[in-house]
Amino acid sequence: MTATVVRAEGVRKNFGDVEVLRGIDLRVAQGEVLCLIGPSGSGKSTFLRCVNHLERVDAGRLYVRDRLVGYEERGGRIHELSDKAVAQQRRGIGMVFQRFNLFPHMTALQNVMEAPVRVAGERKEVARRRALGLLTRVGLADKCDSYPSQLSGGQQQRVAIARALAMEPELMLFDEPTSALDPELVGEVLDVMRALARDGMTMIVVTHEMGFAREVCDSLAFMDGGVVVESGPPEAVIGSPRHERTQAFVRKVR
């Protein structure tokens, strides 16, 4: 039995009167790749953002490595964590955004070095060497000194992956990483993610790429209306969905 990295128990989230998450139960084991699929507005991105506390959970429990995310349970009560403690928790969780969100005033190399130097206090030469290694790993060794505006969308997203990996996370979150890309650039990003999965990285991927989901992920969860409608091995969920809503969704995206 492998260790559990992420454990969600009845996670709920409201934006004002709108219930975006209505009780999510999910588990992600070490080295597992979980894909979240579902129509837009189903809450999959919101759930992902709860995992590193970019959104606060309103009810239920969400654990990463048996530590409550964004909160602390002490003396039978739940306490909010300080800004510093939250930042500390996020170090171990890498995130890749739909719109890349690279820092435009820094080169690719500086983007990757920023967190190791500023957050982990790594020496600049060490961070530079590692950053070079990471950029080589995503196939961008020759783009070190380029600014994000000089890179294509696919290259930017690969830098963003390298940037997240620089903190040596034990969990990677991908929020529709290929949705903002031109179709011909999707492949290069998926290749990098495929390689990461092969290397045993624990990943949660919100995606519309059914081919990728079917091929790479170990388990798949279909979300709709703020709940997990159906989950299981990808071939089961995509191949022979049991639930009516899943069937309708799979029919449309295939």
Partner 1 sequence: MSGHSPRYVTEVRKQDGAGPEQPADRGVPIQAVPLRHPGRWCASAVLVFLVVFLVQGWATNPRMQWGVVAEYLFAPAVLDGLRTTALLTVLAMAIGVVGGVVLAILRMSSNPLLAALSGFYIWVFRGTPLLVQLLFWYFLSAVVPTVGLGIPWGPTFVEADTNQLITQMTAAVLGLGLHEAAYMAEIVRAGIASVDDGQTEAAHALGMTRRQTMRRIVLPQAMRVIIPPTGNQAVSMLKTTSLVFAIAVPELLTSVQGIYSRNFAQIPLLTVACVWYLVATTVLTLAQRYLERAFRKESSS
User: Where on the chain is the footprint of partner 1 (CB under 8 A)?
Assistant: 52, 54, 83-84, 87-88, 90-91, 93-95, 97, 99, 101-105, 114-115, 118-120, 147, 149-150, 160, 163-164, 167
CB 43 within 8 A of CB 54: no
Query: What is the nearest approach in angstroms of partner 1 to the Cβ of residue 84?
Result: 6
113 or 220: CB nearest partner 1: 113
CB 162 within 8 A of CB 134: yes
Residue 76, C-beta contacts closer than 8 angstroms, at least 6 positions apart: none
Is residue 66 within a helix (H) or strand (E), and if so which, with residue range? none
46 or 231: CB nearest partner 1: 46
Strands (E), the chain: 4-15, 18-29, 33-37, 59-64, 67-68, 71-74, 77-80, 93-96, 171-175, 202-206, 219-224, 227-232
145 or 215: CB nearest partner 1: 145
Q: Which parts of 55-94 fold into alpha helices (H)? A: 83-90
CB 32 within 8 A of CB 202: yes
Query: What is the nearest approach in angstroms of partner 1 to the Cβ of residue 95?
Result: 4
CB 6 within 8 A of CB 67: no
Query: What is the nearest approach in angstroms of partner 1 to the Cβ of residue 252?
Result: 29
94 or 226: CB nearest partner 1: 94
Joined tokens for residue 30: 């070490």
User: Can you give the length of the chain in residues?
Assistant: 254
Count of Cβ atoms closer than 10 Å to residue 99 Cβ: 13
CA 238 to chain centre: 21
Query: What is the nearest approach in angstroms of partner 1 to the Cβ of residue 142?
Result: 17
114 or 218: CB nearest partner 1: 114
204 or 250: CB nearest partner 1: 204
Query: What is the nearest approach in angstroms of partner 1 to the Cβ of residue 170?
Result: 13
Query: What is the nearest approach in angstroms of partner 1 to the Cβ of residue 97?
Result: 6
